[in-house]
Amino acid sequence: MSAETTPALLSPRLEQILQALPDPSFAGRLRKVYAAASQAIARLSDMDLVKYETDSTESGADLSLWEEMAPVIRDTVMDVNALLNVIRQEFPAQPPGASADAAARATPEGRAREAAASLHEAMIQMAQQITQLGEAMRNPSVVSDRWTLLAEIQRFRSTFREQVSNLVYASISAFADVARKEVVPGYEVEVKASMTVRAIVADLGRILSARLAKVRDAGPGDLQTNAQQLQNELDAFGRTAAYRGLRAQDKRHIIELRGKVGPLASAPNPPKDELLAVMEALDGLVRSLSAVNQRQVLIINDREVWAACGVRLERAMGLVDSDPANAARLLAEAAAIGQSLYGREANMDAFLRKARKAPLASLTGPELRATLENLQGLLANLGVT
C-alpha cells in the first residue's frame, strides 16, 4: 500500500493542522511525507530481533547469521530510503529564505519554508546515517561478533525511528503548537514500551537487592535455595516485555551471568563467595540499565508528567484547608498520572506502589497535607528539567 492511499495512518490532530493550511497543494505534499514517515516508523518498529539472539554469549557471527541478517539490513535501508525518496519528490529543492527572521517566519509562506527546511535537514541526517550503517556493516569488529552485530542493527533502527519522529514533529510545529503524542506516528506506543522496560527493570533491581541482602546473611544451608530462587527470578525476567526491549549487549551480559547461576543452583553447597560475586555483578548490571531514562521519549514524557503532577499538587495545596475533598481528588489524580514515572527513582517508586492501593481521594486533615507535601518533595527531587 502506498503512502498516497493511507491517510488513516495520520493522527486526527495532524490531519486537522494539514486541513487548516491555506495552501492545499502544500498540505497535500506534506501529507504524503507524513504517510511515508508513518509507514517507516511502523516498519522500523516491527522487526523482532529476539529470534536472532541465542542463549550463548559466544561471539562468532557465522555465515548462517549473515544469511539471516542480510534481509534485515537491506530492509532497514530500503524503509528509510522510501521516506527520503518521497521527501525528494515532494520537496526537491532546499527552500530559499528558510532562515529568515521571525517576522518572515510568521507568514504562511515563511512557515512553509521553515517546515520544508526541517524536512531537508532531517533528510541529510538520515542519509548520513545510512552511510554510517554501511560502514558499520563492513567493520570486521562488528560483523565478526553476533551480539555486536545485533546491537549495531538495533541501534541504527532506533536512531532512524527517532529521526523520523523528529522530522514529523519539527516540520508540523512550524504551523501549530503541538505535543509529540498528538502528531508523531507510533509515539505513544514507543513511550509505553519504554515505560514498561523502565518499570520492570526497576522491579528486578528491587528483587535482586533483596536477594543480595539475603545471600550476604545466609548460612551454608540456605545458599543453594537462594541460588535457585535467583535462577527463577532471572528466568521470569527473561519472559517479560522489558527483556525483549533491552539492548542486545545488555542481554548478552544477563545471559552470561545467568549461565554462572545455573551451576551454583544445582550444586548442593555452592561457594558463598562465588554466588555473591555473581549477584553483585547482576546488581550492578541492572542498576546500569537505568540508562533507559535517557531515551528521548522518556525524557519528553517525564517532563510532561512532572509538570502535570506539579500543577495538580499546587492547586491541591491551595485547597487543602478550604476544600479538602477537591484537594484529595487532585492528589489522587497527580498520583495516578505519576505512575508513568515508575522506575525513575527508588523513593518515588515506593510512594507510587503504596498509592496504587491507598485511598488517596478520601484523605483528610493532617494526613492529606503530609501526603501532598511528600509527593511534592519527591517530584522536586526527581531532577526532571
Domain ranges of the chain: 3-185, 191-292, 296-380
- Give yes or no for a contact between 214 and 38, defined as CB atoms under 8 angstroms apart: no
**pLDDT one-digit tens code per residue, 6-18:** 444 799 999 999 9
Max CA separation in the chain (angstroms): 78
Q: What would the 3-class secondary structure string for the chain be?
A: CCHHHCHHHCCHHHHHHHHHCCCHHHHHHHHHHHHHHHHHHHHHHCCCHHHHCCCCCCCECCHHHHHHHHHHHHHHHHHHHHHHHHHHHHCCCCCCCCCCCHHHHCCHHHHHHHHHHHHHHHHHHHHHHHHHHHHHCCCHHHHCEHHHHHHHHHHHHHHHHHHHHHHHHHHHCCCCCCCHHHHCCCHHHHHHHHHHHHHHHHHHHHHHHHHHHHHHHCCHHHHHHHHHHHHHHHHHHHCCHHHHCCCHHHHHHHHHHHHHHHHHHHCCCCCHHHHHHHHHHHHHHHHHHHHHHHCHHHHHHHHHHHHHHHHHHHHHHHHCCCCHHHHHHHHHHHHHHHHHHCCCCHHHHHHHHHHHHCCHHHCCHHHHHHHHHHHHHHHHCCCCC
Spatial separation of the C-alpha atoms in residues 381 and 142, rounded to whole Å: 40
Residue 83 pLDDT more than 70? Answer: yes
Residue 335 pLDDT more than 90? Answer: yes
The share of the chain scoring above pLDDT 70, in percent, equals 91
Report residue 96's pLDDT band, with 50, 70 and 90 as the boundaries. Answer: low
Q: What is the pLDDT of residue 242?
A: 85
- Give yes or no for a contact between 86 and 36, defined as CB atoms under 8 angstroms apart: yes
Q: What is the pLDDT of residue 320?
A: 95
Give every CB contact of residue 208 below 8 A, 6+ residues apart in sequence: 230, 233, 279, 282, 283, 286
Q: Judge: domain 191-292, CATH 2.60.120.
A: no
Q: What is the pLDDT of residue 5?
A: 43
Q: What is the pLDDT of residue 66?
A: 73
At 86, the amino acid letter reads V
- Give yes or no for a contact between 292 and 201, defined as CB atoms under 8 angstroms apart: yes
Q: What is the pLDDT of residue 46?
A: 63
Q: What is the pLDDT of residue 305?
A: 94
Task: Read off the pTM.
Answer: 0.81
**pLDDT one-digit tens code per residue, 282-325:** 999 999 988 888 888 899 999 999 999 999 999 999 999 999 99
**CA neighbor of 45 nearest in space, from 195, 249, 190, 192:** 190
Burial class of residue 272 in the structure, from the number of CB atoms within 10 Å of its CB (0-12 exposed, 13-18 middle, 19+ buried): middle
End-to-end CA distance of the chain: 42
Average pLDDT of the residues of the chain: 89
Stretch among 31-40, 60-69, 261-270 having the lowest mean pLDDT: 60-69
Q: What is the pLDDT of residue 108?
A: 85
**pLDDT one-digit tens code per residue, 164-201:** 999 999 999 999 999 999 999 989 988 998 999 999 99
* Grid-cell match 495532524, residue found: 14
Residue 359 pLDDT more than 60? Answer: yes
Query: What's the Rg (C-alpha) of the chain?
Result: 25
Q: What is the pLDDT of residue 196?
A: 92
Structure-block grid coordinates of residue 217: 546473611
